[in-house]
Amino acid sequence: MLCQVCWPDAHFIAGSVCDACGVPLQGETIETDLCETCHASPPIWKKGRAVGMYVGPLRRMTLALKHGDRQDIALHMARWMVGVGDQLFTPETTLIPVPLHWTRMIRRRFNQSVLIANAIASERAVRHIPDALQRIRATKPQKDMTRDQRFENQRGAIRAHPKRADQIAGKPILLIDDVMTTGATLSACAEACFDAGAASVNVLVFARVARPE
C-alpha cells in the first residue's frame, strides 16, 4: 500500500513495546514490561499491539480511510495488524470493533473499525461481531482534551448490544480500532465487554499516537 518513496518515512513499531498499549519502549526490557503510563494506570484490558506510530504515511493512510472514503485501505491495514497481533489470536477469539454513534455513522456512511475487523476476521478465520457494542451517547470531539477529560468523555457512552451480550459472555475478545491515543475509548469498550461477561479482552490497533512519558 505504501510506495517506495513513502515507505522509509513510515514509523513501524519494532523491538520492545509496552505489553499493554503497544507503545515502543527504550532500553533493555522483557516481554511483559509496561510503559510508565500503564505502570501508573494499568488499562482494563490485558495486552495491546499497534502496527506503527500515527505520523507520516501511516497517519495519511488512516485519514484516507476514515475521511477520504478509501475503504480499500482497510484490507492493507488489517494484514499488517494480523502480523503484529499474532499472539493475541486464539481459535476462540472474537473480534469486536469500536462502535460509532448513529449520528456519525450517517455522516461517514461506514465504520472504519468494522471494515478493518471484517478484513482481519477473513485473514485469520476468526469470529467477528460488527454490532457487538453500541455507542449510546454522542461524545464530544476529543482532539484537544487531556487524558482525564477523554476518559470522562467516554464514561457511560458504550454498552454491549442487548441482543449480542450472550455472544460476548465467556469469550476472549479482541477489540479493533484504527488509532489509539490515551486508550479512553478502548477502555470504555473493554468495560462494556467485561460487563457482558467476556473472559478476557485484548486490543489491536493500526496506529498509536505518541505520548510523553
CATH number of the CATH domain containing 105: 3.40.50.2020
Q: What is the pLDDT of residue 5?
A: 62
> Does some domain include residue 191?
yes
Q: Which domain holds residue 181?
A: 44-139+147-208
Q: What is the DSSP letter of 101?
A: P
> Does some domain include residue 13?
no
Q: What is the pLDDT of residue 3?
A: 66
> Does some domain include residue 17?
no
Q: What is the pLDDT of residue 28?
A: 64
> Does some domain include residue 32?
no
> Does some domain include residue 2?
no
Q: What is the pLDDT of residue 141?
A: 74
> Does some domain include residue 160?
yes
Q: What is the pLDDT of residue 4?
A: 64
SS3 of 176, please?
Answer: strand
Q: What is the pLDDT of residue 213?
A: 44
**Please, is 27 exposed, middle or buried when counting C-beta atoms within 10 Å of its C-beta (0-12, 13-18, 19+)?**
exposed
Tell me if 134 sits within 8 A of 96, measured CB to CB: no
From CA 113, how far away is CA 204, in angstroms rounded?
Answer: 11
Q: pLDDT tens, 189-203?
A: 999 999 999 999 999
CB-based contacts of 146: which residues, under 8 Å, 6+ apart?
none
> Does some domain include residue 151?
yes
> Does some domain include residue 127?
yes
Tell me the backbone φ, ψ of residue 207, rounded to 5 degrees.
-135, 150
Residue-wise pLDDT tens for the chain (213 aa)?
676 667 777 899 988 899 999 999 887 666 678 988 899 999 999 999 999 999 999 999 999 998 888 999 999 999 999 999 999 999 999 999 999 988 887 888 899 999 999 999 999 999 999 999 999 887 777 777 787 788 777 888 899 999 999 999 999 999 999 999 988 999 999 999 999 999 999 999 999 998 644
Number of folded domains that form the chain = 1
In terms of phi and psi (left: phi > 0; alpha: psi -120 to 50; beta: otherwise), the region of 212 is beta
